Amino acid sequence: MNILTDILSLLKRKKYVETAKPDDVLVLGIHEEPDILGIASPVPYKDARLIKIKDLATSGDCIHTNIPEAETTIAGVYKDMTTVDDECYINLRRLKSLSLDLTIVENGDFIDFDLTIDDLLNVNVLTVTKSGDDTTAAVQKYDFHKPWANPTVAMAAAVSGDIVIVYPGTYTIGVGADVTDDGSQQMVKDGVILYMMPGALIQYTNATGTISLPFSDGGAFHKIKIRGKGQFIFNADTSTATDFFNLTTHGSTTVDWEFDSIFTKRRFGGPIAQNPNFASWRMVGRQYINSESGIFQFEFPVTSTNKFIDIDIEKVTITYNNALKPTWTVNKLMNLSTGSIVNIRYGKVSYPNAVNDGGFHENDTCDKNSIINLTIDNITRTNGIDTFVDYIVYHNTDASKGTYTIKNINTNKGLIKSNAITGEEACRTAYLHGNIGTVTNETIDMYLMDFDAVDLLYKIEMDLVHSGTGEYDKGIYAKDSWRVKLSGVLKWANTIHEPINVEVGAGVKSLTLWNFMLSEVGHIYCARNISAGAVDIHVMNTFSTKAINAGGGGSFTLTQRIGTITVDPLV
């Protein structure tokens, strides 16, 4: 084989191409000079081989890498090499700015980084430390050498856009005397960010009177923001029944509060008399402790639209120390309407001694155009004062929509009460899981759940165990609530009361049982008509081995008995 002769033939015939394909080949071989003079023909190449163009193109390439190679956590420009449609690509990363203040542009042979710092230069960072001095501190840009001693004094000196950073330590306000809101005791200010370092604690020691701290907006629009892992203590006198925190009153004010812990001896919130108002209220933190039976009250004085409330707290503890405040509800929302959305989540809730005349969470006069969602991962309610109506969720003339997910329940009180409302379009869902225990100091008999709401759409899925007698041992009550649909399992060890109690109201239809099981019923009956009139329960795939009781004198009808397995006769 004489490769050289073939190549010369191709040259003579001008077989040229301008572009080589990746799988085209070249000839490789060893060329030697002829060692005999006068030889006219070419000397054949030794060790002739072929190589593809694509292999030749990469055989001598250097390895692409980002240096130094050990810094694997630092972003690099080189990404990788890929082949697409027989084309080889060396892939390099583009540069991207995540800051609105930094732009990256191509400029001929250069890449320009343009940082706009005018806005940043106009921001003052005021630092507060235990070694600070309010008389020598300065409002300057990033001046950490002249710190303040009191966060409220620093806040008074700040202007919108500034940041007040509070370093670890306890900062006490109002020692030895009542503190009024004189404009210099505010720990927040419009447009100023309060940043609390871990270990920083602000403590108010007001003895008496209503505290308008920390969130008074004076009736003007405020944007209030607290960041970090701060701790807050709000002390108060417990000798009166009217101590509150004043809330904001402007309809466009926003509150955004992040914290590690809050401890307060006051009801945190605003009753109608204070005309509370805002556009949004957000609180996110690890722990909230209130020794005066309250968490939050948002009682808007009039029907209020487009309000947003977002509360997420890992641990909530409520206690009771004040006999003059016996009827406090704990969470209360009032007069919410179109466009208003509330999302509340608590991780672990405990209120062993709190007084509660209504519900741990109460919706009052919220209409069908509002949405209220509540999630509690774990709740313990034992040994409460037993002369008050006490439910975890209380819908008081409430037609709002929403979902209620309450898990790991441990209580000897009630679960849900919904009354005095024509529901119509109101549609709610509840998921209940836990145990209902016994008490020894019972003075009232109450229903475990109580529904007296015409046309209220309420789907309740449960996995509950009622261990025996107690205050809330009269089972589930329903009147005019046939669109309330119960599903799941209820274990009922009580021997005194039936687990289901229905009553005739505006109509005979009282309740719907849907894929519902009554398990281990201790009473001789599984359901009872407590009225003298005829009453009806809609059932589907509902199981109990006990009979139904028309003990009130009226007739008792089960309709739409699709798959129903209640085998005992009507008594």
Query: For the segment 529-544, what is each residue's pLDDT rounded down to a tens digit?
Result: 888 777 888 887 777 7
Tell me, yes or no, whether 463 lies in a domain: no
What percentage of the chain reaches a pLDDT higher than 90?
A: 19
Tell me, yes or no, whether 442 lies in a domain: no
Tell me, yes or no, whether 396 lies in a domain: no
Tell me, yes or no, whether 441 lies in a domain: no
Residues 247 and 141 in one domain: yes
Residues 68 and 174 in one domain: no
The two tokens of residue 326 are 């016996």
Residue 260 has pLDDT above 90, yes or no: yes
Tell me, yes or no, whether 414 lies in a domain: no
Tell me, yes or no, whether 484 lies in a domain: no
Residue 443 has pLDDT above 50, yes or no: no
Residues 158 and 244 in one domain: yes
What pLDDT, on the 0 to 100 scale, is given for residue 519? 86
Residues 66 and 160 in one domain: no
Range of the domain at 225: 126-281
Residues 169 and 64 in one domain: no
Exposure letters 398-407 (e unless 16+ CB within 10 A, then b) = bbbbbbbbbe
Domain ends where: 219, 252, 281? 281
Beta carbons of 481 and 451 less than 8 angstroms apart: yes
- Which residues are paired to 434 by β-bridges? 409, 464
What pLDDT, on the 0 to 100 scale, is given for residue 179? 45
What pLDDT, on the 0 to 100 scale, is given for residue 52? 80
Beta carbons of 144 and 126 less than 8 angstroms apart: no
The two tokens of residue 514 are 């849907």
Domain ends where: 249, 281, 313? 281
Q: Look at the block and give the residue holding tokens 């109509």.
A: 507
Residue 334 has pLDDT above 50, yes or no: yes
Tell me, yes or no, whether 499 lies in a domain: no
Q: Residue 442: which residues within 8 A CB-CB, separation 6 or more?
A: 386, 469, 470, 471
Residues 42 and 147 in one domain: no
Instruction: With CA atoms as reference, report the closest residue to 376 among 415, 341, 336, 338.
Output: 415
Predicted confidence (pLDDT) per residue in 448-497, tens digit: 898 887 777 889 999 988 876 665 668 899 888 888 899 999 988 888 88
Tell me, yes or no, whether 407 lies in a domain: no
Q: Look at the block and give the residue holding tokens 């000397």.
A: 43
Give how many domains the chain has, as a whole number. Answer: 2
